[in-house]
Amino acid sequence: MRILILGGTTEASELAQLLAGNSRFDATLSLAGRTTSPRPQPLPTRIGGFGGIEGLEAWLRDHAVDAVVDATHPYADQISRHAVAACHALSLPLASIRRAAWQSQAGDHWIEVDSAEAAAHALGLAASRVFLSLGRLELAAFAAAPQHHYIARTIDPPGDIALPPEIRFVRDRGPFDEAKEQAFLAQERIACVVSKNSGGAATYAKIAAARQLALPVVMIARPDKPHGVALDSARAALQWLETQLAHGPAPASRRSV
C-alpha cells in the first residue's frame, strides 16, 4: 500500500518510525522545506511544495498513492486545504493527525490574538524585552514595533526578511526543559513571551516557565485547518492505515481521473 505522509512534525516522525521496515506499506514522507537541515528520517523523503492542488493531484496520481496522512503543523493550513481538495478529487482516503491545542491554566496570563501582526500590536508602546518563539517567517511582523528588544529562537537563520532593529537570535530546536526555559527567561530579563499555540509537549516548557515567572504570553490563535478523518496520534494513524489495507487498495482507475 502506497502512502504519502505530509510531515514536518513530531507526529510525522513518529509515524515514519512506525512504518519504517514494514513491508506492507510503501511510504514517502513529504517536508515543506522551511527547515534547511531537517532531522534524518527512516523513510524516503521529498522536500518542497507540490505546486498547488493540481500539482499535488498529479503527484498522487503519478505515484499511485493509495492513502494520505496529513501530519503537518497546526498552522500549516494551506497544505491541509490542498490535501483535502486533491484527495477529494481523486477519491483517496485522507486522515489528519490533529494535535490538541494548549489550554490556559490557573496562573497563566494569555493575550490571545489572531496573527503575528496583531501580536506585535499587543506588545504595546512601552519598550520591553520580548521572547519570540515563532517560525522565522512570522518575524517580519515585529518590524512594525521597533521599540522593543527581541530575542528570537529559530532553527534556521531568518533569511532575507525585514526585521526589527533590536533583535538577537538563539538557534535551537525542541524538546525543551522547563527548568532551563525558566532560567533562560529570567537571565534574558524577558517581560513578555510571544508564541503560537502549537500544542504538544516539545515546546510547552516555555509556557509553563512563563506561568511560574508570572509573565504574559501573547498567544497567536490557530488558523481554520481543513482535515480528513481526525486522529490524535501517530499510533492512531498506523491503525487507520491498517484498516485501509484490510479493505483493499484503491482502484487504480480512480487515480486517472
CB-hemisphere CA count at 13 Å for 160?
0
Classify residue 72 as left (phi > 0), alpha (psi -120 to 50) or beta: beta
pLDDT digits (tens, 9 = 90+) for 23-51: 999 999 999 866 666 677 899 999 999 99
Contact status, residue 238 vs residue 19, Cβ threshold 8 Å: yes
Rounded to 10 degrees, the C-alpha dihedral 178/180/183/188 comes to: -110
Which distant-in-sequence residues (6+ apart) come within 8 Å of 245 by Cβ? 1, 24, 25
pLDDT digits (tens, 9 = 90+) for 90-102: 999 999 999 999 9
Is 3.40.50.20 the CATH number for 2-100+224-256?
A: yes
d(CA 172, CA 211): 22
pLDDT digits (tens, 9 = 90+) for 207-218: 999 999 999 999
**What are φ and ψ of residue 225, in 5° steps?**
-115, 110
pLDDT digits (tens, 9 = 90+) for 66-88: 999 999 999 999 999 999 999 99
Distance of CA 202 to CAs 24, 39, 102, 176, 242, Å? 30, 15, 12, 6, 28
Give me the mean pLDDT over the 167-181 stretch: 89
The letter for the amino acid at 175 is: P
Strand partners, 28: 4
Domains 2-100+224-256 and 110-220 share a fold: yes
**What are φ and ψ of residue 213, in 5° steps?**
-95, 5
Domain spans in the chain, listed from the N-terminal domain onward: 2-100+224-256, 110-220
**The model's pTM:** 0.88
Contact status, residue 155 vs residue 173, Cβ threshold 8 Å: yes
Fold of the 110-220 domain: Rossmann fold (3.40.50)
Strand partners, 113: 220
Find, among 101, 75, 110, 106, the residue nearest to 193 by Cα: 110
